[in-house]
Amino acid sequence: MALFFSCFYEINNSRKFVRQRPLRATSPSFEFSESFRSLDFSSCSPPKEEAEKSLSDHEEEEEEEEALVVVVGLRELDVRRKEDGSDPDPEPELGPVESRPSLDDVEAILRYEFNDKRLLEEALTHHSFADKSFCYERLEYVGDSVLNLLFAKEQYFRYPALPPGSLTRLRAANVDTEKLARVAVRHGLHGYLRHRKPVFEEQILEFERAISDYPLHSSGLVKVPKALADIVESTIGAVFIDCNFSLDTVWKVFQRLLEPIISPSALKLHPVTELYELCQKKSLKLRFVDLWSESSSFIVLVNDRLVGKGTYKPKKDIALNRAAKDALENIGKLLREEESTYEDDGDLKKLERDKELR
């Protein structure tokens, strides 16, 4: 038996040699190795079934060895690429979770202590940092619904004379992406967001600079990092679940954080809506011209006269809003000219009538 396996080992080595240097059977230059020629097959005659079984088992082992060689080779190649700096897409070095700010500080900001700390951790974890099954998206879904319900309840009792349309606009202004992103920045919640997207830091800095020109709300004139609003809603959802679904507790925690809450007197119309309403009231012909594909801009024509222009390459909606805002600031001059022309025409007609009477 030992002699059989010795012979089989030599045969297998020869098979490997043939596989590594494949040649056509008709090739006249094909020659077996000397080790293969010197094999003595006379004493290697095991039963057919046993030989086939042994051969099958050995082929499986051989495939496993080849797969292992491939894996090891790839690992060695990866190590060499990283050592000599030739790796085209190296993984960023990430600090351990422990090096990040403690979530205990978030409880101090909220003035609320969680019974289940994992809810708070989940509320501040972006899907880029962990698995999709453990990120803030589900809690954000809950928090969004809870926040809308809280404002509907609060405004219903606070403004009993306000019609439904006005209540809807007021609630929307207090729960929109920009308003909630301001909450996250004002209280520093973004510093506890666990993520692996370096671009977030740049976007947040740009947002902080942009809102300095609009103390309460920009009405769609600045680009907002959605993740900032998301973590406010997810944290609301986490508190709602942790406090056993008490709306009163959630409102007590977040009413202070959501300040300043926009009131009906401070509510401003969206610039596009405001411009449409003004032109309709004054019987003016309004037209927006989309030049986004050419120059990332919009222009506004009123009575076929250029009154506004807005440009913003990163986002089309913001360019439109800025054009409307610019038009609102310039349309006063057009209205004064229209009124002056109307008055001049009236004076002229009056003079003509006086001449006829004479």
pLDDT, tens digit (0-9, with 9 covering 90-100), for 207-226: 999 999 888 899 889 999 99
* Phi/psi at 258 (5° precision): -80, -5
* Phi/psi at 196 (5° precision): -130, 45
Chain position carrying tokens 């740009």: 206
Q: Any idea where the domains of the chain sit in the sequence?
A: 2-83, 100-254, 277-357
Average pLDDT on 294-318 reads: 90
Of 313 and 346, more confident: 313
Q: Which pLDDT does position 69 carry in this prediction?
A: 47
State yes or no: cis peptide before 92, omega within 30 of 0.
Answer: no
What token pair was written down for 140?
Answer: 């954000």
Instruction: Determine contact, residues 190/121, Cβ cutoff 8 Å.
Output: no
3-state secondary structure of 268: coil
* Phi/psi at 298 (5° precision): -130, 150
Q: Which pLDDT does position 344 carry in this prediction?
A: 45
Beta pairing partners, 302: 286, 305
Beta pairing partners, 299: 289, 309
- What's at 232, amino acid-wise? V
C-alpha–C-alpha distance, residues 176 and 6, integer Å: 78
Give Cα 356 distance to the centre of its chain: 73
pLDDT, tens digit (0-9, with 9 covering 90-100), for 157-193: 999 999 999 999 999 999 999 999 999 999 999 999 9
- In the chain, how long is the greatest CA-to-CA distance? 144
What token pair was written down for 334?
Answer: 């057009």
CB neighbours of residue 286 within 10 Å: 18
Conformational region of residue 224, where left means phi above 0, alpha means psi within -120 to 50, and beta covers everything else: beta
Helix (H) or strand (E) run with residue 228 in it: helix 226-242
3-state secondary structure of 310: strand
CB neighbours of residue 19 within 10 Å: 10
C-alpha–C-alpha distance, residues 103 and 111, integer Å: 12
C-alpha–C-alpha distance, residues 289 and 305, integer Å: 12
What token pair was written down for 68?
Answer: 């292992």
Answer yes or no: is pLDDT of 284 > 70: yes
* pTM of structure: 0.62
Instruction: Determine contact, residues 312/341, Cβ cutoff 8 Å.
Output: no
Beta pairing partners, 278: none
Instruction: Say which CATH class 100-254 falls into.
Output: mainly alpha
For residue 91, give the nearest of 81, 100, 76 by alpha carbon: 81
Residue 2: pLDDT band by 50, 70, 90 thresholds?
very low
Answer yes or no: is pLDDT of 14 > 80: no
C-alpha–C-alpha distance, residues 144 and 254, integer Å: 13
pLDDT, tens digit (0-9, with 9 covering 90-100), for 29-80: 444 445 444 545 444 445 555 444 454 555 555 555 554 444 445 455 454 5
The angle, 0 to 180 degrees and rounded to 10, between the axes of the packed helices 316-357 and 271-281 is 20
C-alpha–C-alpha distance, residues 346 and 298, integer Å: 36
Instruction: Determine contact, residues 322/288, Cβ cutoff 8 Å.
Output: no
* Phi/psi at 121 (5° precision): -60, -45
Evaluate whether the domain defined by 277-357 bears CATH number 3.30.160.
yes
Name residues whose C-beta falls within 8 Å of residue 107's C-beta, 6 or more positions apart in sequence.
113, 114, 120
